[in-house]
Amino acid sequence: MKKLKNWDNKTWLSSKSYISQFNKFLKRKSNLNKNSKILDIGCGRANIISALQQKYKFRNKPTGIDIVANKDVKRNIVFKKIEALKYLKKQKKYDLILIKQTIHFFTKTKLNHLLNLSKKSLNPKGKILIFSLKTKNNKIPCFKKMRKNLEKSLKRDEVLFQIIKKNLKKISYANFNYKVNISKQKYVRMIKERYISCLLNMNNKEIKFGISEIKSKYKNQIKFTDTLKCISYRK
Ligand SMILES: C[S@@+](CC[C@H](N)C(=O)[O-])C[C@H]1O[C@@H](n2cnc3c(N)ncnc32)[C@H](O)[C@@H]1O
């Protein structure tokens, strides 16, 4: 798969309001305090752990890892450009391992490795929180080909959820909902920049055609709910 670079590049996913609501949700799901050690796998620009660091001033700065080193990665955290499995083999210990919107990059076998190594990297009572797009009735605005690709990827995610359930066993589920209100113009820019993985393999002509479809299908302001399924595991 081509590399994803614009996921959190000035989109609602990097907005103050999204990060703040997401981190409130994280707080409810984990027992964060000054001593918490956090690892964010597939952290992108590290917006989430950076905001957590600002708020909690952890004794150990959170670590974010990603195979892509964006030039504007946040600086108040420890960032490492490294593949997740390779990093986890170092066997460092964490209280919270966050894997947000990243599992779909893994094959089934690699996902099992990721889960096994993550479990081994947890402190007693440590938590793994996995977030992924909800698979049923997903509201992300799409043009036809984009919807087709997204549905295919969500079908695969359902298989990955089964793998997670089988591997982690003691898990609980919740949903994180965020109400998006974005101008059509900004959303078109996000599509042009291939902000989501179901756009990565499309050629310029398909993107251009898709944008004209979005332009005629949606009003100037696009509103929808972005819902993530949260799978939580406690050691
Ligand atoms: C959709 S983005 C999510 C970014 C961030 N977690 C968020 O929710 O805003 C997925 C990220 O996972 C990274 N990624 C994909 N495969 C990876 C791997 N094997 N090891 C580390 N990072 C990976 C991608 O480069 C990308 O930045």
The pLDDT, as a whole number, for residue 1 is 66
Contact residues for 104 (Cβ-Cβ < 8 A; gap 6+): 132, 153, 156, 157, 160, 197
Domains in the chain: boundaries: 12-182+225-234
Over residues 61-85, the pLDDT tens digits come to 999 999 999 999 999 999 999 999 9
Over residues 105-142, the pLDDT tens digits come to 999 999 999 999 999 999 999 999 999 999 999 999 99
The pLDDT, as a whole number, for residue 9 is 73
Contact 96, 30 (CB under 8 A): yes
One-letter amino acid at 18 equals: Y
Cα of 44 from ligand 1 centre, angstroms: 6
Entry field: residues in the chain: 235
Cα of 166 from ligand 1 centre, angstroms: 23
For domain 12-182+225-234, the CATH architecture is 3-Layer(aba) Sandwich (3.40)
One-letter amino acid at 24 equals: K
Q: CA 94 to CA 99: how far, in whole Å?
A: 13
| Overall pTM > 0.85 | yes
Q: Considering only CA atoms, which residue is closest to atom 3 of ligand 1?
A: 101
